[in-house]
Amino acid sequence: MKPPHVAILDDEPEVRRMLSDALEEAGFRTTSYGRAAEFEIGLKRSAPDVCLVDLGLPDRDGLALVHRLALESGAAIIIISGRAQVQDRVTGLELGADDYIIKPFDPAEVVARIRARLRKGRAEAERVLQTARFAGWVAQFDRYLLVAADGSEVPFSHAEGEVLRIFLESPKRLITRAQMQESLGGAAGDSFDRAMDVRISRLRTKLGEDPKNPRLIKTIYGAGYIFLGEVVWS
Amino acid sequence: MKPPHVAILDDEPEVRRMLSDALEEAGFRTTSYGRAAEFEIGLKRSAPDVCLVDLGLPDRDGLALVHRLALESGAAIIIISGRAQVQDRVTGLELGADDYIIKPFDPAEVVARIRARLRKGRAEAERVLQTARFAGWVAQFDRYLLVAADGSEVPFSHAEGEVLRIFLESPKRLITRAQMQESLGGAAGDSFDRAMDVRISRLRTKLGEDPKNPRLIKTIYGAGYIFLGEVVWS
DNA sequence: CGGGCGGATTACAATTCGTAACAATTGCGA
DNA sequence: TCGCAATTGTTACGAATTGTAATCCGCCCG
């Protein structure tokens, strides 16, 4: 997979350098331009995935440029501007910019915002399967399936999945019964806690736990539960 | 075309009102929630196009919620937070938020940023997508026809097509029964849910699903359905 | 060492879902 | 207008999952 290409348009050389340094360190390819005329020539040679555009250009009205870019280019357009008024931001976004960052900016935030833009573009294809690995198991939450170390598959139900998710999201930490009820959306009190017990019990059997010596879901008498075991999400 | 639906999650009633007023004036449908628990229940009823999430929630860690939303929901996620540090913004965006707005905010900018998000998303959807490929099938919605891998053709009806389209538009994602009913325009409640079951059942038989071990349309008891399988629209 | 209490497990009941059979609706052509 | 066929909704019943209640087991403290 090729690294995404970011085009930078800003008349101040220091700003250009700061941006290109940060972006290349973050794994992007960059091309920098100081004037709108060069920028447009560069666009014809290679289509960037993201355009960072400063509005205060010497040779062209920045907003008009943004508008044309939005219509003609498929790239994500991010304005970087010293003009901080709300009205400036609103018109910039209305004209087709995908984001508006105010100077002075932090390069780390620029990187994060670029990533957010690129993510949506290819989000569906790249969406990582929501899976967790622990103690030889692989839990696939998008398929409601547990895969054992030997490859055998054990389906789990929605109720069991909710409990399992809570455990896997905070392993090695005490989870009180009240917390778990809250997460499961159940009204605390009367007889719902018994339902929770049953859910945990059924989950334990699916995980092949030895009731007398549970290795994964440990009961803390009078307090709650702890999920032991290294969890790696991917 | 239905107006986009924006879900608002913020514990301060004034903020909720300010947002919903501005958004509805701008032509959006809104639903407001004060607590994460209610918000998640609302998500099961109808799938919003945009989620505005405040990080300072009383009953749940906002960032964890954002992360789950990013993975499980197809909506655009915009954080609205009083935490203004760069580090906060970066982690919020890295966890899957599409934008990060700092309190105090101007409603006009919120509207503009929501529009910017929807614009990008809709650009994809606006290409008239009439055929989808999945699991060896080709679904041609303009001809109400399913073409199998061996070339044989199976016609599907309008009702079946509606269900199929919903599945193919959000594959590998839980679709609650309420969401599906809303998409199908049916009044929830009495006996319409049985009609939906029947539609799905008939679609399953046309797809040649094994009732005991469905490979494509999986039922999540008590929750909804998931369409497994890679989908490519063209 | 025994009682009380909290949790685990089992059996059963309630809910939810699948599908087959049937009824209602729609659309079309004679 | 009538009748036929295709589609869709409705009802009924069986199967699967989940909650509830009853019982059993084990921990903690005296």
Inspect the interface and report whether the beta carbons of A93 and B72 lie closer than 8 Å.
Answer: no
Residues 146-205/A with CB < 7 A to strand C:
177, 193-194, 197-198, 200-201, 204-205
**How crowded is the C-beta side of B227, counted as CA atoms within 13 Å?**
19
Q: Does A106 touch chain B (CB under 8 A)?
A: yes
B221/D16 CA-to-C1' distance in Å: 9
Q: Is the Cβ–Cβ distance between A88 and A101 less than 8 Å?
A: no
Is B49 in the same domain as B100? yes
Is A139 in the same domain as A107? no
Q: Does A127 touch chain B (CB under 8 A)?
A: yes
Amino acid at A223: A
CB neighbour list of residue A63: distance below 8 Å, 6 or more residues apart: A55, A91, A92, A95
- Residue B172: CATH number of its domain: 1.10.10.10
Inspect the interface and report whether the beta carbons of B90 and A112 lie closer than 8 Å.
Answer: yes
Question: Where is pLDDT greater, at A128 or A52?
Answer: A52
pLDDT on residue A7: 98
Closest CA to B217 of B155, B160, B159, B172: B172
**What is the DSSP code (8-state) at residue B127?**
S
pLDDT on residue A130: 81
**pTM for the whole structure:** 0.89
Residue B109's region, left for phi above 0, alpha for psi from -120 to 50, else beta, is alpha
Question: Where is pLDDT greater, at A122 or A200?
Answer: A200
Is B97 in the same domain as B176? no
Domain extent for A67: 5-126
Domain boundary (A67, A96, A126) is at A126
Closest CA to B176 of B213, B218, B226, B215: B226
pLDDT digits (tens, 9 = 90+) for B112-156: 999 999 987 666 666 677 899 999 999 999 999 999 999 999 999
Q: How many domains does chain B have?
A: 2
The pLDDT confidence band at residue B58, using thresholds 50, 70 and 90, is confident
Q: Does B42 touch chain A (CB under 8 A)?
A: no
In the sheet that holds A29-33, the strands lie side by side as A29-33, A5-9, A50-54, A76-81, A99-102
B166 beta carbon to strand D: under 7 Å: no
- How many cross-chain Cβ pairs, A to B, lie less than 8 Å apart? 82
B223 beta carbon to strand C: under 7 Å: yes
Residues 186-205/B with CB < 7 A to strand C:
193-194, 197-198, 200-201, 204-205
Is B115 in the same domain as B143? no
Is A114 in the same domain as A149? no
Query: What is residue B83's three-state secondary structure?
Result: coil
pLDDT on residue B135: 95
Amino acid at A200: I
Closest CA to B123 of A114, A117, A6, A65: A117
The pLDDT confidence band at residue B81, using thresholds 50, 70 and 90, is very high
Percent over 90 (pLDDT), chain B: 76
Instruction: Read off the pLDDT of each residue in A43-65 and give the average, rounded to a whole number.
Output: 91
Query: What is residue B219's three-state secondary structure?
Result: strand
B212/C19 CA-to-C1' distance in Å: 13
Chain A residues near residue B169 by CB distance under 8 angstroms: none
Is A171 in the same domain as A202? yes
Inspect the interface and report whether the beta carbons of B94 and A86 lie closer than 8 Å.
Answer: no
B160 beta carbon to strand D: under 7 Å: yes
Is A65 in the same domain as A166? no
Inspect the interface and report whether the beta carbons of B93 and A106 lie closer than 8 Å.
Answer: no
As a whole number, the mean pLDDT across chain B is 92
pLDDT on residue B23: 98
pLDDT digits (tens, 9 = 90+) for A138-183: 999 989 999 999 999 999 999 999 999 999 999 999 999 888 887 7
pLDDT on residue B59: 80
How far is residue A46's CA from residue A30's CA, in Å, rounded to a whole number?
11
pLDDT on residue A128: 58
What residue in A sits closest to B78 (Cα-Cα)? A116
Q: Does A153 touch chain B (CB under 8 A)?
A: no
Number of Cβ atoms within 10 Å of the Cβ of A181: 17
Domain boundary (B105, B126, B147) is at B126
Is A184 in the same domain as A166? yes
A219 beta carbon to strand C: under 7 Å: yes
Is A114 in the same domain as A175? no
Is A120 in the same domain as A176? no
Domain boundary (B81, B98, B126) is at B126
pLDDT on residue B231: 93
pLDDT on residue B88: 97
Chain B residues near residue A95 by CB distance under 8 angstroms: none
Q: Is the Cβ–Cβ distance between A6 and A29 less than 8 Å?
A: yes
A9/C9 CA-to-C1' distance in Å: 68
The DSSP code sequence of chain A is -PPPEEEEE-S-HHHHHHHHHHHHHTT-EEEEESSHHHHHHHHHH---SEEEEES--SSS-HHHHHHHHHHH--SEEEEEES---HHHHHHHHHTT-SEEEESS--HHHHHHHHHHHHHHHTHHHHPPP-EEEETTEEEETTTTEEE-TTS-EEE--HHHHHHHHHHHHSTTSEEEHHHHHHHTTPPSSTTHHHHHHHHHHHHHHHTT--TTS-SSEEEETTTEEEE-S-EEE-
pLDDT on residue A125: 43
- Residue A95: CATH number of its domain: 3.40.50.2300
Both tokens of B47, joined, read: 């799938």
Instruction: Read off the pLDDT of each residue in A31-36 and give the average, rounded to a whole number.
Output: 95
B142/D4 CA-to-C1' distance in Å: 27
Is A145 in the same domain as A205? yes
- For strands A50-54 and A76-81, give the pairing: parallel
Q: Which residue is nearest to nucleotide D6 (CA to C1')?
A: B157
Q: Does A144 touch chain B (CB under 8 A)?
A: yes
pLDDT digits (tens, 9 = 90+) for B94-108: 999 999 999 999 999
User: Nearest nucleotide, C1' to the C-alpha of A205?
Assistant: C9
As a whole number, the mean pLDDT across chain A is 90
Percent over 70 (pLDDT), chain B: 94
pLDDT digits (tens, 9 = 90+) for B157-191: 999 999 999 999 999 999 999 999 988 876 665 55
Instruction: Tell me if the bond preceding B104 is cis, omega within 30° of 0.
Output: yes
Is B89 in the same domain as B135? no
Closest CA to A65 of A50, A46, A79: A79
CB neighbour list of residue B82: distance below 8 Å, 6 or more residues apart: B55, B56, B102, B103
pLDDT digits (tens, 9 = 90+) for B12-32: 999 999 999 999 999 999 999
Instruction: Read off the pLDDT of each residue in B2-17 and give the average, rounded to a whole number.
Output: 96
Distance of CA B85 to the CA centre of its chain: 30
B175/D23 CA-to-C1' distance in Å: 39
The residues facing B29 across adjacent strands are B5
Chain A residues near residue B218 by CB distance under 8 angstroms: 143-144
